Amino acid sequence: MKHIISALVQNKPGVLAHVAGMFAARAFNIDSLAVGRTDDPALSRMTIVVVGDDKVVEQVRKQLAKVIDVVKVQDFSGREVIARDLMLICVHIPPEKRPEILALVEMFKAKVVDIGQRFVMVEVVGPEDKIEAFVEACRPYGVKNLARTGTVAMGRFDRQEVADNE
Amino acid sequence: MKKNPSQDSSRQSPSDFPIKTGAEIIVETLIEQGADTIFGYPGGVVLPLFDRLYDAPIRFIIPRHEQGGTHMADGYARASGKVGVIIVTSGPGACNLTTGIANAMMDSVPIVALTGQVRTELIGNDAFQEADTTGITRPITKHNMIVKDVKDLQQMIREAFYIAKTGRPGPVLIDIPVDIEVAKCQLQPLKEISLPGYKPPQKGHLRQIKMAAQAIDKSDKPVLYAGGGVIAADAAKELHSFAQKANLPVTTTLLGLGSYDQSRPESLDMLGMHGTAYANFAVQECDLLIAVGARFDDRVTGKVKTFAPNAKIIHIDIDPSSISKNVAVNIPVVGDAKFILAELAKEVKHKERKEWFDKIADWKRRYPLRYDTRSAGLKPQYVIEQLCEAAKSEAIVVTGVGQHQMWTAQFYKHSKPRHFITSGGLGTMGFGLPAAIGAQVARPDALVIAIDGDCSFNMTLTEISTAVQYELPIKVCIINNGYMGMVRQWQELFYNKRYSKTHIDNPEFAVVAQALGAVGIAVEKKSEVKSAIAKMLAEKKPCIVDFKVEREENVWPMVAAGKSLHEMDGLDIFESMA
């Protein structure tokens, strides 16, 4: 089972190596890992998708918290989250198939970001299953290559929090 | 003068913070952090630092090999409770540290390692004696860092000491490029260390402690299971008071030996693979297991699924990640064992538990640790018993890894914390001699005895000349059976006695010892043991005694890999000796 864990880490050299190394050393299975700066220049956020049962995820959470440069760990298991991936995908586009593919792009609320003689580059944003579905839909035309960010996620506001804000 | 962190830095004049080189900053900060003794080995990129050490008020011990140096720092830390410090050069120097650092990591020993590194602009270019030290040591350190700016250097060293000794202790490494050693910057005032990602628990949750106390009061068949964390937390006294107050039988792990006085009737001695039958039976039958500073290692639990099958489990540990890692815990108490045990002692009630103690007494009567005392041959267990008899609980006993280590755990009666030093988690052969040297450096007036195996000893025996150079009167007793005994035992039991590559031809250790400037004694007969030990104990120089023991003695009892703790082999052998 997949779990999304979010870790606030210090924005220092070597932190990614510490975290990635810990995952390898403890034989944890990572599905994806996305890192980026936050509004605080001293901090970065890592979003990690881990495969494993509850016991594994508990260990992941604790071992992450144990890494000195990791400031805070949040486990989104059992919580409603907004989770998004971003993908750039190059699809083979023979002239006669253009309308089909562009319809597909439209259908997925994706965006054409570049176009060449034989290929089109499409940007897709959304939950992981949407991204997967788009890849599958493009396969018959021929996928040249693709690049994905891995999942980033945030917990949904609970009702009380929304009420407080209103 | 700058030692008190609470001191208001605004009262200090600017002359307190002069401009210094990186090398000077390192030496000043080491002294500030209380490092009066350092182990290390010089080399190219640490020359500026070693130049500063030339006339620094620091005792410096040079091992013959950096691995030995790390084990010395480890033994020093375990014997003294202070942070062990080691300084080595880049590349091979740093690489040679790895076994010692991994060993300290597994056994939670506070060490600060400083490694030299090639010039910053050369990093990544495969420069001479370059190695990716932080990359290599990342999984075997509690934390490591590389200095990129001399302005960060002083605070990094302070943080390294803080991280090494607080929480669950462990090794911290700082990699220092040589240009940082010569770069200059102003000294910085000592302020309280605040690391946003590192807040070790100070005490323990009082509600959890109350819950634990209630469970203990309810229990009819409890067992207290103490590990190395009790010693690391300096909580042996609190453990004793708590066990007395609640009236609990106490078993310890290998690293926990010395946390509880084994001469007491409620002591069950060591549990686990080569633990006593009465400890293992008690754990398997208890209704409550109270683990303190122990981590349910596979050598302790045997088959995890059937470990303590009837027990509720209380786990007291400073490392939250230890809890429910191997065995599901019912009542976790995260925090400092010293504080928690003292609180628990206040909360619990005394309970008689006569039936339980009667049962334990019966196991103790039926299955004491035994060996063939009638044998005319030289038995390893006999040597260790005689050593214990002669040196009593005063000695700091250090071991290597293997059969001799288990016999020392079994037949030497330990009663004081920081008096038994052994490589537990990593199981590092060759640990004994250098760790004993480190312990003797820490405790110059103490009697330090290394009990080592012949193959274990062979791995680091070059360090005899370190003991000779610094006039460290360590005693080394080699339990010499001419085999890698523990591996041979497994080959005997599980591989049809095919002793594949477990024999090496040893030199005459007594002669080697003499050649290196120590005293060497060889013992071949049982009748010579007592006089040899007496001679050894009277010796002022480092003294190596080579006990040529019976070659194929086994360690019993034994829980074979994959078996449950109560399924011990060797108990019938005990009965036949009774």
Task: Say if residue B233's pLDDT is above 70.
Answer: yes
For residue B308, give the nearest of B288, B325, B292, B291 by alpha carbon: B288
CA B254 to CA B407: how far, in whole Å?
11
Check whether residue A41 and residue A94 sit in a common domain: no
B15 has a pLDDT exceeding 90: no
Does A166 fall in a domain? no
Q: What is the mean pLDDT of residues B86-95?
A: 98
Q: Are residues A26 and A58 in the same domain?
A: yes
Do residue A96 and residue A66 come from a single domain?
no
User: Tell me: the pLDDT tens digits for A86-108?
Assistant: 999 999 999 899 999 999 999 99
> Which residues of chain B are within 8 Å of residue A66 when distances are taken between CB atoms?
319-321
Span B93-98, mean pLDDT? 98
Helix (H/G/I), strand (E/B), else coil: B371: coil
What is the rounded CA–CA span in Å between residue B243 and residue B368?
Answer: 22
Q: Which of A45, A75, A105 is the last residue of a domain?
A: A75
Mutation pick from A44, A66, A70 vs chain B, by most beta carbons of B within 10 Å, is A66
Residue A99 falls inside a structural domain: yes
Distance from CA of B330 to the nearest CA of A (A): 14
In a domain, residue A47? The reply is yes
Task: Read off the pLDDT of residues B27-39 as tens digits, 9 standing for 90 and up.
Answer: 999 999 999 999 9
Do A13 and B146 lie within an 8 Å CB cutoff?
yes
In the chain, the amino acid numbered A68 is I
pLDDT at B247 over 50: yes
Backbone φ and ψ for B547, nearest 5 degrees, come out as -90, 110
CB-neighbour burial class of residue B440 (10 A; exposed 0-12, middle 13-18, buried 19+): buried
- Residue reference for tokens 């106390």: B213
| Of the partner residues A9, A17, A59, the one whose CB lies closest to the CB of residue B138 | A17
Interface test with A, best of B133, B136, B145 (most A CBs within 10 A): B145
CATH classification at residue A138:
3.30.70.1150
Query: What is the token pair recorded at B354?
Result: 């006569």
**Cβ contact, residue pair A9, B325, below 8 Å:** no
* Beta-carbon separation of A65 and B321 below 8 A: yes
Asked if A102 and A134 sit in the same domain, the reply is: yes
How high is the ipTM of this complex? Answer: 0.88
Q: B59 and chain A: CB distance < 8 Å anywhere?
A: no
Look at A66 and B139 and tell me if their CB atoms are within 8 Å: no
Asked whether residue A160 is assigned to any structural domain, the reply reads no
Which residue range(s) make up the domain with A39? 2-75
Same structural domain for residues A45 and A99? no
For residues B577 and B349, give the distance between their C-alpha atoms in angstroms, rounded to a whole number: 41
Q: Kindly state whether residues A70 and A124 are assigned to the same domain.
A: no
Distance CA B152, CA B185 (A): 10
Bond preceding residue A127 cis, omega within 30 of 0? no
Residue ending a domain, among A56, A75, A94, is A75
Residues A87 and A145 in one domain: yes
Q: A24 to chain B: which residues are within 8 Å by CB?
A: 139
Measured distance CA(B224)–CA(B267) in Å, rounded: 10
In a domain, A50, yes or no: yes
Q: With an 8 Å Cβ cutoff, is A21 touching chain B?
A: yes
Give the model confidence (pLDDT) of B331-341 as tens digits: 999 999 999 99
Q: What CATH number is attached to the domain comprising A46?
A: 3.30.70.260
- Whether B68 contacts B97, CB under 8 Å: no
Query: Do A26 and A45 sit in the same domain of this protein?
Result: yes
Rounded Cα–Cα distance for residues B257 and B558 (Å): 18
In a domain, A134, yes or no: yes
pLDDT score of B502: 97
Domains and CATH numbers, chain B: 9-186 (3.40.50.970), 206-366 (3.40.50.1220), 380-556 (3.40.50.970)
Give yes or no: residues A58 and A108 share one domain: no
* Domain count across chain A: 2
Let me know if residue A115 belongs to a domain: yes
B304 CB within 8 Å of a chain A CB? no
pLDDT digits (tens, 9 = 90+) for B308-349: 999 999 999 999 999 999 999 999 999 999 999 999 999 999
pLDDT at B364: 96
Q: Which residue has the higher pLDDT, B42 or B10?
A: B42
A149 and A88 within one domain: yes
Residues contacting residue A52 through CB under 8 Å, at least 6 positions apart = A1, A3, A28, A29, A60
CA separation for the pair B305, B316 (Å, rounded): 21
* pTM exceeds 0.90 for this model: yes
Contact residues for B241 (Cβ-Cβ < 8 A; gap 6+): B341, B342, B345
Q: Does B320 touch chain A (CB under 8 A)?
A: yes
Same domain, A12 and A71: yes
Alpha helix (H) ranges present in B348-422?
354-366, 380-391, 403-411
Q: Quote the CA–CA distance of B314 and B289 in Å, as a whole number.
A: 6
The CB density around residue B491, as the number of other CB atoms within 10 Å, is 18
Q: Is residue A7 part of a domain?
A: yes
Whether A71 and A98 share a structural domain = no
Are residues B350 and B213 in contact, defined by beta-carbon separation less than 8 angstroms? no
Sequence-distant (≥ 6) Cβ neighbours of residue B125 within 8 angstroms: none
